[in-house]
Amino acid sequence: MARPAALTFLLAAALCGAGCASHHPKHRVAKATAIPPPINVGTVALVNEAGHFALIDNGTSAAPPTGATLKTYTDGVESGVLQSTEVRRHPFVIADIRSGLPRKGDRVTYDPYHGGQPPEAEPKPSGDSEAQTPGAANLPTPPQVRF
C-alpha cells in the first residue's frame, strides 16, 4: 500500500511542478500598461485662415510645449492639426494650422504618447567638423586653478 501512495505523491509533485513553472517570474506575460488619454489643452478662441494660425484659450490648463502637435475636434470629430508656437500670453497660445479647418469653439488636445512630442532640436549645420563631433571636444575648457 505504501507504493501507490508514493506513486500518487510523485505524480502530484510532477504535475504541480509543470503547472507551477508557468507561475515563475520568467514565464509570466508582461501586463500591458495603460496609455493615458490625450491631454485637453483648451478650446479654439479664434481662427485666422489667411494667416494660417489659431488662438487657443487654455484657461487654467498648462500650455503645451512649443512645437507640440495638437489636434482640434468639432463635435468629437477631428477637424484639424495644429503646431504650438512659442507665442503665448496666459491664457492664450498661438498655434500654426498644419492641416484641416479648425473652428472657433473646437476642443484642442495634446497627446505626447502618440507622436505629439515636440521635435528635437536639430543640429545646426556648420563648416567646422569639430563642432559636429560628439564627445569631449565639444565641452568647454574648465578654468585653470593655480596654487
- Tens-of-pLDDT digits for all 147 residues of the chain? 456 666 666 666 666 655 555 555 665 666 667 778 888 999 999 999 999 999 999 988 888 899 999 999 999 899 999 999 999 888 999 999 999 999 999 999 998 887 655 545 444 555 544 444 455 555 566 666 665
In Å, how far are 39, 43, 48, 110 from 96, measured between CA atoms?
Answer: 19, 14, 10, 14
Backbone angles phi, psi at 119, to 5 degrees: -65, 145
Cα separation, 90 vs 57, in Å, equals 8
Residue 76 near residue 65 (C-beta atoms within 8 A): no
